[in-house]
């Protein structure tokens, strides 16, 4: 779905250029009255190919917290649980293409709530994406829809808005964020996966169906990402999955382009953000490339510690 340029830019205001360094360029904009778009680009586009990752923020987090920083006394703990900026720097050092990350935040700090407040989200989300395209002003790039926690609701909102997932969407990643999945999305995902050999679907989840907080379940038996991920595997079973059974089970389609990681939870703990923190964002971009598992492991020690800035 495409919107005229005037439709997009009438909502848009450059609010700041918050950072420029030898390696990064950071620009921030407002879309409408309640959406903030932050674009993190390499200072120099050195490669002919470009990947743009749209990273929809998790519930309750700001863009600055999502990007992360070295914690100082008195800092909010949210600054130390994702480190997408440092993971981006690490990934750029391995990926042989330009990597641009676009952070998507709304004033409610919740994409599910934002969608409930905007009945016309099926028009607004494509307009946000068209606006980003105009801001980047790049002739060609491949698009990666990504998000953590409630950020998955933005991805499903986009899928609600399009009848066919466009070919330039080459990766879709749910970093413990596919709460909104149901079987109605399976036909579009199957069609998209068949349409291009560069199309990758990656899902990370843990057994939140048994997780407890203060002795109480954090989700219902069928309301979390564990149940939804198994439902997705069942819906896509014609892709012939194989899997190992370990503390983290990895289910991979025969063509290796659908990967589902499911972490067991014998301690009934909460591993929600750890799937991002423990190199999850890095792996979501590098899986299926020659750089996958080079210098890092998914759910291993942070590979990007030296790249965290103040």
**Interval 172-217: pLDDT, tens:** 999 999 999 999 999 999 999 999 999 999 999 999 999 999 999 9
Question: Measured between alpha carbons, how far is residue 138 from residues 38, 48, 88, 115, 229 in Å?
Answer: 16, 11, 20, 29, 34
Residue 14 pLDDT more than 70?
no
Q: What percent of the chain is predicted at pLDDT more than 70?
A: 93
Q: So what's the pLDDT on residue 20? A: 56
Q: So what's the pLDDT on residue 23? A: 74
The pLDDT-based confidence of 15 (bands split at 50, 70, 90) is low
Q: What percent of the chain is predicted at pLDDT more than 90?
A: 89
Q: Give the mean model confidence (pLDDT) for residues 25-40.
A: 96
Q: So what's the pLDDT on residue 243? A: 83
- The model's pLDDT over 224-251, given as tens digits with 9 standing for 90+, comes to 999 999 999 999 999 999 987 778 999 9
The answer to whether the pTM exceeds 0.75 is yes
Give the phi and the psi of residue 221 in degrees, each rounded to 5.
-60, -25
CA distance 13 to 10: 8
Contact 129, 37 (CB under 8 A): no
Q: So what's the pLDDT on residue 4? A: 44
The pLDDT-based confidence of 8 (bands split at 50, 70, 90) is very low
């Amino acid at each position: 779905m495409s919107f005229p340029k005037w439709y997009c830019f009438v909502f848009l205001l450059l609010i700041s250029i918050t950072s420029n360094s030898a390696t990064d360029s950071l620009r921030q904009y407002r879309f409408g009255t309640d959406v903030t778009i932050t674009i993190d680009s390499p200072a120099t586009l050195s490669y002919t190919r470009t990947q743009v990752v749209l990273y929809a923020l998790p519930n309750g987090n700001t863009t600055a917290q999502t990007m992360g920083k070295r914690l100082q006394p008195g800092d909010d703990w949210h600054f130390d649980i994702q480190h997408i900026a440092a993971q981006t720097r690490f990934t750029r050092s391995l990926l042989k293409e330009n990597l641009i990350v676009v952070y998507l935040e709304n004033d409610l700090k919740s994409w599910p709530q934002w969608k409930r407040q905007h009945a016309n989200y099926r028009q607004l989300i494509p307009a946000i994406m068209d606006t980003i395209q105009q801001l980047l002003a790049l002739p060609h790039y491949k698009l990666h829809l990504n998000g953590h926690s409630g950020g998955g609701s933005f991805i499903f909102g986009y899928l609600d808005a399009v009848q066919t997932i466009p070919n330039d969407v080459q990766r879709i990643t749910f970093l413990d964020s596919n709460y909104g999945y149901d079987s109605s999305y399976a036909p579009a995902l199957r069609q998209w996966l068949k349409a291009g050999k560069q199309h990758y679907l990656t899902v990370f989840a843990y057994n939140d169906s048994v997780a407890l907080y203060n002795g109480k379940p954090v989700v219902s038996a069928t309301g979390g990402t564990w149940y939804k991920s198994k439902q997705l595997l069942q819906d896509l079973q014609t892709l012939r999955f194989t899997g190992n059974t370990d503390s983290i089970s990895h289910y991979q389609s025969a063509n290796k382009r659908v990967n589902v990681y499911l972490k067991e939870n014998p301690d009934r703990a909460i591993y929600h953000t750890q799937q991002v923190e423990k190199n999850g964002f890095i792996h979501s971009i590098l899986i299926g490339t020659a750089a996958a598992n080079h210098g890092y492991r998914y759910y291993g020690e942070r590979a990007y510690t030296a790249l965290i800035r103040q």
